[in-house]
A and B are shown apart, each in its own frame.
Chain A
Amino acid sequence: MSTNGVERKRIRLTVNGAPVEREVEARLLLSDFLRHELGLTGTHVGCEHGVCGACTVLVDGEPARSCLMFAIQADGHIVETVEGLAASDDALHPLQRAFWEKHGLQCGYCTPGMLMVLKAFLAENPNPTEGEVREAISGNLCRCTGYQNIVEAALEAARLLRQHS
């Protein structure tokens, strides 16, 4: 399909549980697709070359950089963003509650990426050590907190999640 000579392709994917269908240009990054096409601006963009981790989302349950994927590559896949974490506006996900209670954020720029990478990590390792948490978030930069409270929040979230299950 072509508009003004630019090739566009139709993609179908699931975003936060809902089916989505759009026509996209091949070079559209998944991060820009989420933010500009779907209005899901919770996925932040810091560096656009894979270094900061702010854009981390889950693709088929695995954490991935949405700035290092084209939207077209997500065709047929399941994408989860930070908007999909809380069940409702007044029912925070245990990860979000832990970040709130342990002051795991200041400006909040890194927070969506932190939450998404930790969601996948804690699903696989429900009872991590502090060192394992630090390794899990080693690809996510935070310019504010010094990480201390993020690590505490992650350990608290692990406790809350274990109680839930």
Chain B
Amino acid sequence: MKPARFVYHAPTTLEATVQLLAELNVEAKLLAGGQSLIPMLNMRLVRPGHLIDLQHVSELAGIHERDGGIAIGAMTRQRQVERSPLVAERIPLLAEAVRHVGHLPIRTRGTIGGSIAHADPAAELPGVLLALDGTVHLVSVKGERTVAARDFFVDILTTAAEPDELVREVWFPRLPERSGSAWLEVARRHGDYALVGIGAVVTLADDGQAVAEARLCFISVAARPVRATQVEAALRGAPVTPATWRQAGALVQEELDPPADLHASAHYRRYVAGVLAERALELAARRAQEGAGR
């Protein structure tokens, strides 16, 4: 199990990186944390002629405030996201979810950009980005463009990014006032890919007694992360009561159509999705009331 030969490039600027990517195009693969790519290279599932290592492109790392939200550079390690006080305060859903990405020694290398670009349907970070209506910022020699999360994730391991485009950063908007969020998932073992995972956001009405807006985003139930839009619509204006969350959980089981695979049957996934939805909504609403989950 050794990778086939490749030519290694280690550019130090973003400009040089996109130039290389334009020249080599489909011949090249970008190497971020390597936590998904190197296993595939070792097993020779992919055999690119060139690897472009992003680790020296310092412009791609870092967490900062931008346009009222938080922007995170593609090469920011998942472990840095996990430790960031800014993320904990401003994007608690991300802080809660990132701890479920693999294990400690995976997150020290794995990056946020690599996880978003890889687009594994069981991956947490794409689910968080979609739950929060975030955006992906792409760059190529032709220029920059911004793609909304709902348009970015297309299919299993497939995104809207072209072969000559690089994920530069991801951006998470600020949640409205009176919002709370919660990430829950079921996996065989902490750190394993989720059998089902959910990111929920609840925004309360002015009086705190009704739901102004609810968002439910699931991972591992389809070829890409998905929002339960029908359930979200049904929750608008609903009272903040245990019965509301229970009904939402039942509706989730109707709306989702998860696949069966080696790890879980479709029936099991659907059932777990309903249970997790009920719990996540309740937790998110409680955090919204406590003003702790923003």
Instruction: Give the distance in Å from the alpha carbon of A117 to the alpha carbon of B79 in the complex.
Output: 14
Could you tell me the distance in whole angstroms from the C-beta of A39 to the nearest C-beta in chain B?
19
Q: A63 at the A/B interface (Cβ < 8 Å)?
A: yes
Query: Quick one: which of A87-138 are within 8 Å of B by CB?
Result: 117, 120-121, 134-136, 138
Contact A139 B191, CB 8 Å, known A7-B8, A26-B7, A121-B104: yes
Could you tell me the distance in whole angstroms from the C-beta of A133 to the nearest C-beta in chain B?
12
User: Do B35 and A138 touch (CB < 8 A)?
Assistant: no
Encoded as 1 (CB less than 8 Å from any B CB) or 0, chain A from 4 to 43 comes to 0011010000000000000001110100100000000000
User: Do A67 and B42 touch (CB < 8 A)?
Assistant: yes
Q: B190 at the A/B interface (Cβ < 8 Å)?
A: yes
Chain B residues, Cβ within 8 Å of A64: 105, 108-109
Partner of B6, one of A27, A67, A68, A69: A27
Partner of B105, one of A25, A56, A70, A135: A56
Chain A residues, Cβ within 8 Å of B289: none
Chain A residues, Cβ within 8 Å of B5: 6, 25-27
Contact A69 B79, CB 8 Å, known A27-B5, A138-B103: no
Nearest-CB residue, chain A, relative to B51 = A26
Q: A65 at the A/B interface (Cβ < 8 Å)?
A: yes
User: Do A48 and B8 touch (CB < 8 A)?
Assistant: no
User: Do B106 and A117 touch (CB < 8 A)?
Assistant: no
Q: B38 at the A/B interface (Cβ < 8 Å)?
A: yes
Nearest-CB residue, chain A, relative to B102 = A139
Contact A48 B42, CB 8 Å, known A9-B8, A27-B5, A73-B53: yes
Q: A72 at the A/B interface (Cβ < 8 Å)?
A: yes
Q: B2 at the A/B interface (Cβ < 8 Å)?
A: yes
Contact A50 B39, CB 8 Å, known A72-B8, A73-B55: yes
Nearest-CB residue, chain B, relative to A62 = B108
Partner of A65, one of B10, B109, B189: B109
Q: A49 at the A/B interface (Cβ < 8 Å)?
A: yes
User: Do A49 and B103 touch (CB < 8 A)?
Assistant: no
Chain A residues, Cβ within 8 Å of B51: 26
* 10 more CB-based (< 8 A) A-B contacts, given A7-B8, A53-B105: A9-B8, A27-B2, A27-B4, A29-B2, A48-B39, A49-B39, A50-B38, A121-B104, A135-B191, A139-B106
6 pairs from A and B in contact (CB 8 Å cutoff): A27-B2, A50-B38, A50-B102, A63-B108, A69-B34, A136-B104
